[in-house]
């Protein structure tokens, strides 16, 4: 019998109703219970009062010197107190609402008190007390604190886990390969489990935690890596047949030379596309690093191989922009580009759907509408998603369920620190665009207070006189779309008054798709010199002639959002500027402005962002794909995560990974995690 096959009912003291309640905590088997780790510890070690600091929670032992006095006041409330001699001091111990203790507090009796120490009054507000003559259980020890509820109390949980360890502790088996236990000098699993529940001495507790954190991160990484090696071996994808020569001559038609970074990344992608496994690659590159053209080359390769391609983007504005730039890029090569968005008329939609089904459309650009019900492809070979973090994580499995198994390229402009990338995307291969196209000047960033608005307007005038254009971004206020729009509308009026001779565009979420298109088009064509906008322009918008980005109330934006906004300028050869208007009251707000003025490197920005926010917050919520770990803490266990990833990669790359008997327990674990059921990680 293995511990995960033995019901918790087998533990002495677990009744049927208690078993039911444990289910609510995800605890079914003995193994589950032993893996139910405390989330913190209470220190009940007895200390001398000399060590105790004012306001601190401490445990002390002494002798009761006087009978207890009880005061009652209103609604069953009470205050019980007595004098206790501790280390030659006479301490007043006070209990609130525990009148029932009065009889036990007999003068002359030894007592152990835990509670908040008030130095000045020599008084303790007692939270827990025990008597050594009745066998003090807690005192002198560090006790685990579990997440409990219902009729399951802390004491019951402690007792039951203690009992489980007595009955089944010896049956706990090692699951990590011994070579890894040796390599990292890890505590054996049996000892670590025992220890995490009874951390007698802190060094041992640390070692136990280190071992279990490693195990957790290693198993997580192993799952991702094993999944990756399985998909690599599955060979049920499309092997795109495309010769280097046709790619080369297509690249020659582009108006610029590819950067070395772009060439390298294109090669990585083409190698994947030629294989019959499914490409699952993340392309990360700072804003303006030229990801779109990389996508275009990959789409061209799919087309040359006789398949269709799709480019998914988060907004209709972007869909429209990409559609137009792809049409331009593909003009001479006879490749048909279609557009599919939610706001299209039913008739046009029907035409596009028919075109896709019959293969008349080679590349479809659109929002998530592309992968909805009723959209059928003749042969979908490649899906590119742009600005991935705006998409849900399970898009890929939607495609799989349609019986499509295209190569997938995910592009993101939010450079992710390596450690977080391997946490969230450990199942992906990562390509990185490190350099920006030549001749780009660093964007100069300034932080000014609101009272400088006049001078900022002067700045707009100067750039427009030079033939350039400016964005003026207004923030989202408390997610209220109404206020948000109002803000932009007010600013629009103000700017039109300031610049009566210029055309000032206005872009916000309330406009219809057609209106948005028209506003963007007139800005792209330099009919409008200034564009007032909400954050709809945040991702992807590309107007190379715009050189000035002004962000109002910049403290309301997060760092990566500010960096994205700034990335809307500096996209041509002209010197560009970003002006952040903010009077931040908070430390974090000021720190953000500082980061923005100090660097325009997206990797550095996200590193500083991570420092400021902490990794828990970094990705936002579920979308990120960063799981909730039981023990591991992403802010302090980075190094372990990297080790775990390397170890897992090393193991899964071995020829005999799936057949090696020494790894049988890992195989079991992967199977019970349903690694083989298909879309687990999508
Ligand atoms: P992003 O990575 O932010 O999506 P884009 O793909 O929109 O960046 O490219 C930014 C701008 O740089 C575009 O105007 C594009 O035409 C241009 N560009 C891309 N690659 C190069 C290159 N190798 N040399 C010069 N300009 C380039
Ligand atoms: Mg882009």
pLDDT tops 70 at residue 143: yes
The first and second tokens of residue 511, run together, are: 């406009």
Model confidence at 486, pLDDT cuts 50, 70, 90, reads: low
> Concatenated DSSP letters for 296-358?
HHHHHHHHHTT-EEEEE-SSHHHHHHHHHHHHHHTGGGT--EEEE-TTS-HHHHHHHHHHHHH
Q: Which residue has the higher pLDDT, 510 or 90?
A: 90
Closest CA to ligand 1's atom 19: 290
* Nearest ligand atom owner, CA of 439: 1
Compute the distance between CA of residue 510 and CA of residue 512 in angstroms, rounded to an integer.
Answer: 7
pLDDT tops 90 at residue 674: no
Residue 63 Cα, ligand 1 centroid: separation in angstroms?
A: 78
Residues 557-579 pLDDT 10s: 888 889 989 989 988 889 999 99
Instruction: For residue 262, give the 3-state DSSP assignment.
Output: helix
Instruction: For residue 219, give the 3-state DSSP assignment.
Output: helix
What atom in ligand 1 is closest to the CA of residue 386? 4
Residue 572 Cα, ligand 1 centroid: separation in angstroms?
A: 9
Q: What is the side-by-side strand order in the sheet with 429-433?
A: 337-340, 363-366, 308-312, 380-386, 407-412, 280-285, 429-433
Residue 617 contacts residue 484 (beta carbons within 8 Å): no
- pTM score above 0.75: no
154-168 helix and 189-197 helix, angle to the nearest 10 degrees: 160
Residue 619's pLDDT is 46
Residue ranges with strand state E in 44-148: 57-64, 69-73, 77-86, 89-96, 110-118, 123-130, 142-145
Residue 3 contacts residue 172 (beta carbons within 8 Å): yes
Residue 415 Cα, ligand 2 centroid: separation in angstroms?
A: 13
Model confidence at 393, pLDDT cuts 50, 70, 90, reads: very low
Residue 409 Cα, ligand 2 centroid: separation in angstroms?
A: 13
* Nearest ligand atom owner, CA of 544: 1
The first and second tokens of residue 111, run together, are: 């007592």
| Contacts of 294 by beta carbon, 8 Å cutoff, 6+ apart | 262, 265, 266, 269, 283, 411, 433
Picking from 304, 310, 306, the residue whose alpha carbon sits closest to that of residue 410 is: 310
pLDDT tops 70 at residue 621: no
* Nearest ligand atom owner, CA of 291: 1
Other beta carbons less than 10 A from residue 512's beta carbon: 10
* Nearest ligand atom owner, CA of 261: 1
Residue 416 Cα, ligand 2 centroid: separation in angstroms?
A: 16
The domains located in the chain, with CATH, are 1-39+142-172 (1.10.150), 45-140 (2.40.50.140), 444-599 (3.40.50.300)
> Where does ligand 1 bind, in terms of residues with CB under 6 Å?
256-259, 262, 285, 287-293, 413, 437, 542, 544, 571
The Cα diameter of the chain in Å comes to 100
Distance (Å) of CA 180 to CA 189, 224, 251, 644, 646: 12, 18, 47, 10, 11
Closest CA to ligand 1's atom 12: 290
The first and second tokens of residue 537, run together, are: 């322009």
> Concatenated DSSP letters for 575-623?
--EEEEE----SHHHHHHHHHHHH---HHHHHHHHHHHH-HHHHT-SGG
Listed residues: CB within 5 A of ion ligand 2: 540
Q: Average pLDDT, stretch 521-528?
A: 93
Residues 282-337 pLDDT 10s: 898 887 788 999 999 999 999 999 999 999 988 888 888 899 889 999 988 989 99
């Amino acid at each position: 019998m293995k511990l995960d096959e033995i019901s918790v009912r087998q533990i002495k003291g677990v009744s049927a109703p208690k078993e039911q309640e444990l289910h609510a905590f995800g605890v079914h088997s003995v193994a589950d219970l032993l893996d139910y780790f405390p989330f913190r510890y209470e220190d009940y070690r007895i200390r001398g009062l000399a060590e105790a600091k004012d306001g601190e929670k401490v445990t002390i032992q002494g002798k009761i010197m006087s009978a207890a006095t009880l005061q009652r006041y209103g609604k069953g409330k009470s205050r019980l107190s007595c004098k206790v001699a501790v280390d030659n001091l006479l301490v007043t111990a006070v209990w609130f609402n525990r009148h029932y203790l009065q009889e036990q507090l007999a003068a002359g009796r030894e007592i152990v008190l835990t509670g908040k120490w008030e130095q000045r009054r020599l008084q303790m507000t007692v939270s827990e007390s025990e008597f050594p003559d009745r066998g003090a259980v807690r005192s002198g020890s560090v006790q685990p604190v579990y997440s409990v509820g219902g009729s399951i109390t802390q004491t019951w949980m402690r007792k039951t886990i203690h009992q489980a360890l007595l009955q089944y502790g010896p049956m706990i088996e090692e699951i990590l390969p011994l070579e890894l236990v040796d390599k990292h000098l890890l505590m054996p699993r049996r000892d670590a489990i025992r220890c995490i529940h009874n951390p007698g001495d802190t060094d041992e507790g640390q070692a136990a935690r280190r071992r279990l954190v490693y195990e957790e991160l290693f198993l997580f990484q192993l799952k991702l890596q094993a999944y990756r090696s399985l998909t690599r071996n599955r060979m049920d994808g499309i092997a795109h047949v495309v010769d280097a020569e046709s790619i080369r001559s297509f690249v020659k038609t582009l108006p610029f030379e590819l950067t070395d970074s772009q060439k390298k990344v294109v090669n990585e992608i083409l190698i994947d596309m030629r294989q019959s496994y499914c490409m699952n690659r993340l392309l990360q590159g700072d804003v303006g690093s030229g990801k779109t053209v990389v996508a275009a080359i990959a789409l061209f390769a799919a087309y040359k191989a006789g398949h269709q391609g799709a480019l998914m983007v988060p907004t209709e504005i972007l869909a429209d922009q990409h559609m137009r730039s792809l049409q331009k890029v593909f003009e001479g090569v006879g490749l048909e580009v279609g557009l599919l968005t939610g706001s299209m008329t039913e008739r046009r939609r029907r035409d596009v759907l028919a075109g896709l089904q019959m293969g008349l459309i080679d590349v479809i650009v659109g929002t998530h509408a592309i992968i909805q019900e009723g959209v059928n492809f003749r042969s979908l070979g490649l899906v590119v998603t742009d600005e991935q973090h705006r998409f849900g994580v399970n898009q890929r499995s939607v495609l799989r369920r349609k019986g499509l198994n295209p190569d997938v390229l995910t592009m993101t402009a939010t450079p992710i620190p390596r450690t977080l990338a391997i946490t969230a995307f450990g199942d992906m291969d990562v390509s990185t665009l490190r350099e920006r196209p030549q001749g780009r000047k660093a964007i100069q960033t300034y932080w000014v207070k609101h009272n400088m608005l006049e001078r900022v307007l002067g700045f707009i005038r100067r750039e427009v006189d030079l033939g350039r254009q400016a964005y003026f971004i207004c923030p989202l206020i408390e997610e209220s779309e109404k206020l948000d729009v109002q803000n932009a509308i007010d600013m629009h009026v103000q700017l039109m008054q300031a610049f009566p001779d210029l055309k000032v565009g206005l872009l916000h979420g309330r406009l219809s798709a057609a209106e948005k298109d028209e506003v963007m088009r007139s800005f792209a064509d330099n009919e409008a010199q200034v564009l007032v906008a909400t954050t709809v322009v945040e991702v992807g918008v590309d107007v190379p002639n715009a050189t000035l980005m002004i962000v109002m109330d910049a403290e309301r934006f997060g760092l990566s959002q500010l960096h994205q906004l700034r990335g809307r300028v500096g996209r041509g050869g002209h010197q560009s500027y970003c002006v952040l208007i903010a009077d931040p009251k908070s430390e974090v707000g000021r720190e953000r402005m500082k980061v923005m003025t100090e660097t325009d490197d997206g990797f550095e920005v996200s590193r500083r962002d991570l420092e400021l926010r902490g990794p828990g917050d970094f990705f936002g919520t579920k979308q990120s794909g960063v799981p909730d770990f039981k023990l591991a803490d992403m802010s302090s266990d980075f190094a372990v995560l990297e080790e775990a990833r390397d170890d897992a990669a090393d193991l899964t790359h071995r020829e005999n990974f799936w057949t090696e008997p020494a790894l049988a327990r890992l195989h079991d674990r992967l199977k019970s995690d349903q690694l083989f059921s298909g879309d687990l990680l999508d």
